[in-house]
């Protein structure tokens, strides 16, 4: 028996036999061309790209393809039809006398290497997309490759070197138990899709392929990020009950799909979904979410040489709004740090980007780019289910500035006779102590507030949540954090507007009754966690929760708070 450590992408336990499937390597001959062959290679390029684009168009319209694949294929089409791609390949052919295959390979190798070397999840996502497109195009030109997962059987545990976004949806449809890859990152496009599908997944497992053989029994622990190869009887005896219980729990949770998220004493809690990519939308619909409480738009702005124009953004927002209607779609404007957009905006390097130009500060610093996004959102708002949310608000002054920009965009659209919802609701994310403390004034300018607990904890406790050296100081239940959440919820109640939580606390069982007791009336979580959260909501009596939460707020230490949090499960006994 041996254990291999990886990065947990999507939790869950799986026990089964492995199936190793590697992507066939494409063999590209090293062959120089002559000046007379340049025109021929140009013609071959245009012909093959057009054929692959036509093939993608056919797949997109094929009703047998699910929405995840359609959106991914649309992204691939955009890459193939990018004028910069054509210019780069033709330049390599003309100036270096490379064959078409060599030129395409060299172009994509450079792009993938560039993105892979950037320690950023969004760029890793783009890297995977470009790998996928390169393989699709070259395999057609070389007449090599094919569907490597064609013979994959259900209930297997797939082991592979890496996997593309379109392949994730393909293997999920085959009902595999789990997915493990030797490469990949937690925030890649492929990982996000696996997570949204609730498929137990580990990535970046060191020496995975060197330590596993075909048809070996393994345990995949998606909670701990561990693969146990050839488990002994004792280990199997420990994991099998957990595995069976998880399978049973999943079936029980599916039975809650059509039920309302209501507490045991009849209080309705709005339960919405967070999404990062359009590909996750089908999963939102499957669990019958009350809407999308947080649509992160960063994917539109990352890993590209040119910013998205208004039309591209409008098409995406409109498509999602139409599909989720009549449920609400809350679109958050770009929320990135200065370091993440430096390639596009040519921003100066910041010593501490978390305390620098990020979130709403970037938008207000680059008004033309901000207005493109606002105009696109407003144009899509004719669906009458769109709301706009602004990240990293620290003062009411920023909201007032934002409203000025919105009014300017509305006037522009009116002059152009372009319709929009002139009653569109706006909201602020409460992620800084200053925003929470002044949430009364911010609430006066907004239609709703949403608390981003991840950053609120980080900024309140002066703890970098990605720095393991100070991991022990990142305490979600710290009294200061709870008081800021309570203050925000109380101010929203006074102004009669909704108060949501869209951070990680909203999807952790132990904190759900705590948040409800603090006055939160809306939770927004990943689609894969939504039914679990609903199940927790339905367990509790809100009046009992609030009484116990008042007691928690009186505690002085984190230890005492945590001890009282554990008592939520004993409320019937506690209140006798």
CB 128 within 8 A of CB 193: no
Q: Is 189 a catalytic residue?
A: yes
Active site residue 499: no
Chain centre distance of CA 463: 23
Q: Where do the DSSP E strands lie in 146-281? A: 157-160, 178-181, 201-203, 217-221, 226-229, 270-275
Place of tokens 């959106």: 71
Strand blocks (E) in 297-421: 329-332, 386-393
Question: Which of the residues 180, 499, 502, 548 is marked catalytic?
Answer: 502
| Beta strand residue intervals within 182-224, DSSP E | 201-203, 217-221
In the DSSP assignment, the letter for residue 337 is B
Residue with tokens 């899509």: 380
End-to-end CA distance of the chain: 50
Please pick, among 48, 189, 366, 548, the residue that the annotation labels catalytic.
189
In contact, 427 and 447? CB cutoff 8 Å: yes
Contacts of 576 (CB under 8 A, 6+ apart): none
SS (H, E, C) 92-122: HHHHHCECHHHHHHHHHHHHHHHHHCCCCHH
Burial class (CB in 10 A: 0-12, 13-18, 19+), 375: buried
Tokens representing residue 450 in the block:
């949403």
Q: Residue ranges of the alpha helices (H) in 287-366? A: 310-324, 342-345, 360-365
Residues with a catalytic annotation lie at 189, 502
């Amino acid at each position: 028996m041996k254990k291999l450590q990886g990065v947990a992408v999507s939790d869950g336990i799986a026990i089964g036999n492995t199936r190793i499937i590697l992507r066939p390597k494409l063999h590209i001959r090293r062959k120089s061309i002559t000046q007379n062959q340049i025109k021929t290679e140009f013609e071959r390029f245009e012909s093959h790209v057009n054929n692959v684009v036509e093939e993608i168009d056919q797949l997109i319209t094929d009703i047998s393809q699910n929405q995840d694949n359609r959106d991914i294929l649309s992204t691939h089409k955009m890459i193939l039809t990018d004028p910069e791609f054509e210019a780069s390949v033709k330049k390599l052919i003309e100036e270096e006398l490379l064959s078409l295959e060599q030129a395409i390979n060299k172009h994509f190798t450079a792009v993938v290497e560039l993105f892979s070397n950037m320690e950023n999840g969004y760029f890793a996502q783009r890297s995977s997309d470009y790998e996928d497109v390169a393989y699709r195009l070259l395999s057609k030109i070389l007449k090599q490759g094919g569907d490597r997962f064609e013979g994959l059987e259900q209930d297997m545990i797939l082991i592979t070197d890496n996997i593309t976004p379109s392949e994730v949806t393909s293997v999920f449809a085959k009902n595999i138990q789990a997915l493990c890859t030797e490469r990949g990152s937690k925030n890649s496009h492929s990982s996000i899709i696996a997570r949204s599908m609730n498929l137990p997944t580990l990535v970046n497992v060191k020496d995975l392929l060197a330590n596993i053989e075909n048809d070996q029994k393994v345990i995949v622990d998606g909670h701990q990020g561990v693969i146990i190869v050839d488990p002994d009887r004792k280990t199997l005896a420990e994991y099998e009950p957990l595995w069976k219980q998880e399978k049973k729990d999943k079936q029980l949770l599916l039975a809650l799909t059509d039920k309302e998220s209501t507490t045991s004493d009849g209080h309705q809690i709005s339960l919405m979904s967070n999404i990062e990519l359009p590909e996750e939308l089908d999963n939102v619909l499957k669990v019958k979410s009350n809407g999308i409480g947080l649509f992160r738009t960063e994917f539109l702005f990352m890993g590209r040489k040119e910013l998205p124009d208004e039309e591209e953004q409008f098409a995406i927002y409109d498509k999602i709004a139409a599909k989720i209607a009549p449920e609400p779609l809350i679109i958050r404007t770009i929320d990135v740090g200065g370091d993440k957009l430096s390639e596009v905006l040519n921003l100066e390097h910041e010593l501490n980007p978390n305390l620098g130009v990020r979130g709403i500060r970037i938008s207000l610093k680059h008004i033309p780019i901000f207005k493109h996004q606002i105009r696109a959102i407003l144009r899509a708002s004719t669906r009458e289910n769109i709301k706009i949310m602004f990240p990293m608000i620290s003062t009411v002054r920023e909201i007032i500035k934002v409203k000025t920009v919105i009014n300017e965009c509305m006037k522009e659209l009116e002059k152009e006779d372009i319709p929009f919802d002139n009653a569109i609701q706006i909201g602020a994310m409460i992620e800084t102590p200053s925003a929470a403390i002044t949430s009364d004034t911010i609430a006066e300018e907004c239609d709703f507030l949403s608390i981003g607990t991840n950053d609120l904890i980080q900024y309140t406790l002066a703890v970098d949540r990605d720095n393991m050296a100070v991991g022990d100081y990142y305490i979600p239940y710290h009294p200061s954090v709870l008081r800021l959440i309570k203050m925000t919820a109380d101010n929203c109640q006074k102004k009669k507007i909704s108060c949501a939580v869209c951070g990680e606390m909203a999807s952790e069982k132990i904190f759900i009754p705590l948040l409800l007791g603090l006055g939160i009336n809306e939770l927004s979580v990943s689609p894969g966690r939504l039914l679990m959260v609903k199940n927790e909501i339905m367990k509790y009596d809100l009046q009992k929760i609030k009484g116990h939460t008042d007691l928690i707020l009186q505690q002085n230490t984190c230890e005492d708070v945590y001890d009282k949090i554990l008592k939520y499960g004993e409320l019937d006994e506690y209140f006798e």
